[in-house]
Amino acid sequence: MITIEKRKWKDFLLKEETFKIPSDSNIIRIGAKMVPDLTYIKGLNNLREIENLRLILSGNLFTEIPDLSFLANLRDLFLKYNKISKISNLDTCNQLIQLFLDINHIQKIQNLEFCPSLTKLGIASNQISKIENLEQNNNLKRLNLSHNTIRKIEGLDNLEELEYLNLSYNNISNLEHLDHLKNLRFLDLSGNTIKHIENLPYLEKLKELKLQNNNIHSLKGLEGLENLRYIHIQGNPINSSQIERFMKSHPNIHIFN
């Protein structure tokens, strides 16, 4: 595993002939810090044949996703903490398994149909207002869209393999359109404007539910979730007597209040 820090990264690019990639396939991580523009990415041409490549370009100054078409074996791409405003340049990333675009300036989910192998997607802390264009990403197991401006749960019908869903700290007021998520085990809806717990019995495998910092007054709606073990309800106006009754009738569920 090789991590190229800021100084070494520049040395690699400016003196490329002195940097030799080992012939084995154990190198899975190439990292950069504070790379100022896309010209610095060209030095990665030497990585064409590396299998299971993990490229970490978080904490840089990119305003767009670099053209990585020459990295056919790219599996994991980390672009957190940049200034990217649009999801693009993924046309040839059909082997990509993990994509992390958290903490950028992205306003729309798009162009992910070119990445049908994705199992983990993170676009937290952006400016997304709608869940859309994920129809071709039915292999997703983990999806993080927290800290955006999403108002409605939608666009998830094809994600039947999803096990982890984080929609915390958005503007969601209703629990809806979750019935296709039969494999969901973790759901985080904390920090929204939800008043009622409803439409959850379909989530038969759900183990952990986070609803803290909403406006929920009642625990009604949690019946039928036989695998549920943990509920987080801190910061809601639910009286203690109701919580005590629920705990007595559901001894297998641990409530964080």
| Confidence check: pLDDT of 45 > 80 | no
CATH 3.80.10.10 fits 25-149, yes or no: yes
Q: Pick the more confident residue, 163 or 4.
A: 163
pLDDT digits (tens, 9 = 90+) for 193-216: 999 998 898 899 999 999 999 999
In CATH terms, 160-256 corresponds, of 3.40.190.10, 3.30.470.10, 3.40.50.880, 3.80.10.10, to 3.80.10.10
**Per-residue pLDDT at 2:** 46
Q: Pick the more confident residue, 25 or 52.
A: 52
pLDDT digits (tens, 9 = 90+) for 209-245: 999 999 999 999 898 899 999 999 999 999 999 999 9
Q: Rounded to two decimals, what is the model's pTM?
A: 0.90
Would you place residue 15 in the very low, low, confident or very high pLDDT band (cuts 50, 70, 90)?
Answer: very low
Would you place residue 10 in the very low, low, confident or very high pLDDT band (cuts 50, 70, 90)?
Answer: very low
Q: Is the fold of 25-149 the same as that of 160-256?
A: yes
Q: Which residue has the tokens 């759901």?
A: 187
Would you place residue 36 in the very low, low, confident or very high pLDDT band (cuts 50, 70, 90)?
Answer: low
Query: In the predicted model, what is the mean pLDDT of residues 162-172?
Result: 99
pLDDT digits (tens, 9 = 90+) for 110-160: 999 999 999 999 999 999 999 999 999 999 999 999 999 999 999 999 999
Q: Where are the domains of the chain?
A: 25-149, 160-256
